[in-house]
Amino acid sequence: MSMQGPRTGDWFARARRSLVNGVSSGFRYLGDEDTIVIDRGEGAYVYDMDGKRYIDYQCAWGPIILGHADPVVTEAVVAAARDGTTFAMTQRREVEAAEAVLAAVKWADRIRFTNTGTEATMHALRLARGWAGRDLVLKFEGHYHGTHDYVLFTTAGAPPAHLGSRLRPIPFQNSSGIPEGIRSYVRTLPFNDTTAVLDYFADYGHQTAAVIIEPAAGNAFGILPEPGFLETVRRLCTETETVLIFDEVKTGFRFALGGAVETFGVVPDIATYAKALGNGFPVAAVALSEEMVDGWRLGGIAQAGTYGGNGISTAAARATLGQLQATDAYARIEKVGLALMEGLARVLVEFGVESQVIGHPSMFSIYLGEGRPTEYRDIAGHDARLYSAVIAGMIHRGVMPCIDAREPWFISAAHTMEDVAQTLEVFSDALVSALELAGSLPSHLDEAD
């Protein structure tokens, strides 16, 4: 059954006549009959072209932290638009927003703004290479850092069976069109595998320019770092003068005002921020420790961007950070997120489904399999068919997490306990339908029905 109502279907057919596959980002295409066209968003809800309301747990894949169309952010953006948005010079709103970012993250000395996470990680890696005078980059399996050439290796989508030995993984290239030579500069390792990291650093530590890591795997079930793992990576980077880059594009301003650095207490040399920084407006930042600042200050390592620090983006960033600071947003997100995680786990136990609800209350996933996943390779044990059947059932019933469990559920400050109650009811109904269809509804529940 199609996910689209009649008007939404017509709109998507229209979209396909102008946009390739009807989308502006490849990940958004879910098929000709299942890609939804959105009319508008407000708070915790989005509305499709048929006027159908969904409780939105995709939150644009992370950016929406206050809720869609937050009035304070909207006002700030409207005011910025009236003043002209882009100049060939530094502007007032850019300075104010930079100060707000530094005050929020606390550990960094200076930042520069970009517009997307991809731009931020691309600049961070070049800065790290230029600073270290080395070429190798280490990243982790299932971690996503955007769409530029150096980081499209072993992201979610790589087949776990083809990743080779844990100690000498084979980087899986996730796209055609990446020059063959790039592969020789990229190494990959399983997340949370301290033995593999120690082994790697013994052999390659002094040749490695940078380690880039999502402190919590925001593109692979929201898996959290095991105790001590980030600390080990930090220590090895320090010992070998390797630049440690935290990709906080998903965790930044979401886990806490100070992001994953505040949550886990480990400080990188560079961090990249985006998503929740602008509550949906395109703004990103590369934050630098004092030691890294000279990399750009002295010149010679290219960084530029016509729209970096533009008035709209930086007005949105400052207003978003202001709201996060001035309200009880994080307390509400935690309360709602924890209630939802616990409720989902309870329903799964009730229906006898082997599973774990894992991650952070603001960004978590449901793993349908045995044991607790700690890294991307564990995806092999996840029942993706059952999961997508359940989520499809939820979307039909007006609740919208991502259809793929690798992409977490996101909670905004606009979600309420009423949304949680409705979501759990819908989840329970959709789970029963999916289990019935798969012939695996526990027999006592079958009879009770």
Ligand X SMILES: Cc1ncc(COP(=O)(O)O)c(C=O)c1O
Contact call for residue 221 and ligand X (CB under 6 A): no
Distance in Å, CB of 244 to ligand X, minimum: 15
Q: Show the tokens assigned to 6.
A: 């009649």
Rounded Cα gap, residues 135 and 209, in angstroms: 6
The count of other CB atoms within 10 Å of the CB of residue 15 is 16
Rounded Cα gap, residues 82 and 304, in angstroms: 25
Contact call for residue 214 and ligand X (CB under 6 A): yes
Sign for the pseudo-dihedral over CA of 429, 430, 433, 439:
negative
Distance in Å, CB of 309 to ligand X, minimum: 16
Contact call for residue 116 and ligand X (CB under 6 A): yes
Question: Count of residues binding ligand X (CB under 6 A)?
Answer: 15
DSSP H or E stretch at residue 291 = helix 290-297
The count of other CB atoms within 10 Å of the CB of residue 336 is 24
Please say which residue, 117 or 280, places its beta carbon nearer to ligand X. Answer: 117
Contact set for ligand X, span 7-66 (CB under 6 A): 61
DSSP 3-state of 259: helix
Choose one: 161-169, 211-219, 225-233, 349-357; the region binding ligand X (CB under 6 A): 211-219
**CB neighbour class for 334 (10 Å; exposed up to 12, middle 13-18, buried from 19):** middle
Contact set for ligand X, span 407-436 (CB under 6 A): none
Please say which residue, 214 or 378, places its beta carbon nearer to ligand X. Answer: 214
Which of 68, 112, 134, 145 forms a contact with ligand X (CB under 6 A)? 145
Choose one: 214-222, 223-231, 290-298, 307-315; the region binding ligand X (CB under 6 A): 214-222
Distance in Å, CB of 321 to ligand X, minimum: 18
Please say which residue, 146 or 169, places its beta carbon nearer to ligand X. Answer: 146
Contact set for ligand X, span 246-265 (CB under 6 A): 247, 249-250
Choose one: 9-17, 48-56, 114-122, 195-203; the region binding ligand X (CB under 6 A): 114-122
Contact call for residue 121 and ligand X (CB under 6 A): yes
> Please, which residues have CB within 8 angstroms of residue 89's CB and are 6 or more apart in sequence?
none
Choose one: 142-150, 193-201, 364-372, 417-425; the region binding ligand X (CB under 6 A): 142-150
C-alpha 325: how far from chain center: 21
Distance in Å, CB of 117 to ligand X, minimum: 2
Distance in Å, CB of 113 to ligand X, minimum: 13
Contacts of residues 100-103 at CB distance under 8 Å and 24 or more positions apart, as own/partner, are 100/317, 100/318, 100/321, 100/322, 101/273, 101/277, 101/285, 101/287, 101/317, 101/321, 102/287
Contact call for residue 114 and ligand X (CB under 6 A): no
Choose one: 104-112, 117-125, 177-185, 260-268; the region binding ligand X (CB under 6 A): 117-125
Amino acid at 191: F
With b meaning 16 or more CB within 10 Å and e meaning fewer, what string describes 247-262? Answer: bbbbbbbbbbbbbbbb
CA distances from 233 to 91, 148, 194, 238, 295 (A): 38, 24, 8, 9, 22
Tell me which residues are annotated as active site: 144, 247, 275
Report the interface residues with ligand X, using CB under 6 A: 61, 116-118, 121, 144-146, 214, 218-219, 247, 249-250, 274
